[in-house]
Amino acid sequence: MRRPDKILMVINLENCFGCFACETACKLEKSLPDNVRLMRVMQFGPYSFKVKEKVKVKENGKIVEKEVERKKVLSLYIPRPCFHCEMAPCIESCPYGAIKRDTNLGIVYIDEELCIGCKQCLTSCPYGTIQFDSERKKAIKCDFCYGRIKAVKEYSEEDIKRIYKHMIEKGGILRKVLHEKSGDLAFEVVKAKDSKHGTYKVKTEELKELKIEGLWPACATKCPANAIKVGRYEDLKEYLEKYKGRIKREWSIIYIFPHKI
């Protein structure tokens, strides 16, 4: 299993309704040719099953509640990006070391300058997620939009003063920077130990190097159903706790299944 501080992608299949916006966003972000899909939405079903529901009906001039049995039809849509395996066979199979892993983020990506297009990684991938770009003669795969995640914003001194002022007005001190595209900050309420009146001592030196990670992958930011979430485990833990018993993990991808499929 991957260490919990790596970048993970959570895909909530209960929310996904098969609009294929993630596929489209990926193709636009990566400028992919027509025959290449790095994010593939697979459809299963439709499945038919019966459910019992309580409805209100009018009988003898009165509104009563009755339990009725209805037929329900459901299709399951499963987005399939690269799983960023912990023991990635594509890394081992590449004879020129073009496929690498960012040890901090856990992301497996292809260095296009080193790739010679030998296609050995395509045959070694057990999930079939690595594609071949026939125009550029290079292997290509989902890398969680590595360039977007690696982009960092450095706050100016004026930004830092404004952020610190906001935190103190809200009654907290800086704890960490949340890994979100919005740039939100997290802070916790902790009283200064050497303060008699519960005020906070401001040390601007602590924030001179304040940075925040860049945008999340295009598929996550463009999903209209909010079915794709990306982040580190500590950022996603609270969200995942709501779906205990319905989670299936494949390396860096966590699927949340609906109650009925």
Mean pLDDT calculated for residue range 134-147: 95
> Cα–Cα–Cα angle for 178, 236, 174, nearest 5°?
25
Q: Identify the pLDDT of residue 171.
A: 63
What does the pLDDT average to over 235-254? Answer: 93
Would you say residue 261 lies in a domain?
Answer: no
Regarding whether 206 and 81 lie in a shared domain, the answer is no
Instruction: Assess contact for 179 and 235: CB atoms under 8 A.
Output: yes
CB 255 within 8 Å of CB 81: no
**Residue 65 falls inside a structural domain:** no
- In a shared domain, residues 123 and 239: yes
Alpha-carbon distance of 220 to 69, in angstroms, equals 37
Most confident by average pLDDT, 49-63, 181-195, 212-226, 240-254: 240-254
The DSSP secondary structure of 213-229, one letter per residue, reads: E-PPPHHHHH-TT--EE
58 part of a folded domain: no
User: What was the pLDDT predicted at 179?
Assistant: 46
- Verify that 238 and 179 share a domain, yes or no: no
What is the average pLDDT score of the chain? 84
Tell me, yes or no, whether 193 and 233 share the same domain: no
CA 117/CA 120 separation, integer angstroms:
8
Alpha-carbon gap, residue 73 to 71, rounded angstroms: 7
* Coil, strand or helix at 83: coil
Looking at the structure, tell me whether residues 133 and 20 fall in a common domain. yes
179 and 232 housed in the same domain? no
Task: Give tens-digit pLDDT for 73-110.
Answer: 889 999 999 999 999 999 999 999 999 999 989 999 99
**How many residues in total does the chain contain?**
261
Extract the tokens encoding 123.
């045959």
Residues 170, 252 within the same domain: no
Cβ-based neighbours of 85, under 8 Å, separated by 6 or more: 108, 251, 252
Domain count for the chain: 2
Give the closest residue to 130 by CA, choosing from 100, 101, 88, 90.
Answer: 90
Are 205 and 98 contained in the same domain? no
Question: What pLDDT, in 10s, does the model give residues 211-243?
Answer: 666 788 999 999 999 999 998 888 899 999 999
Tell me whether residue 13 is in a domain: yes
23 and 80 share one domain = yes
Residues 228 and 125 occupy one common structural domain: yes
d(CA 250, CA 37): 20
pLDDT of the residue at 208: 58
Confidence band for 203, pLDDT divided at 50, 70 and 90: low
Whether residue 247 contacts residue 25, with contact meaning beta carbons closer than 8 Å, is answered with: no
**Could you tell me if 90 and 186 lie in one domain?**
no
Q: Is residue 86 part of a domain?
A: yes
Residue span of the structural domain in which 197 resides: 152-213
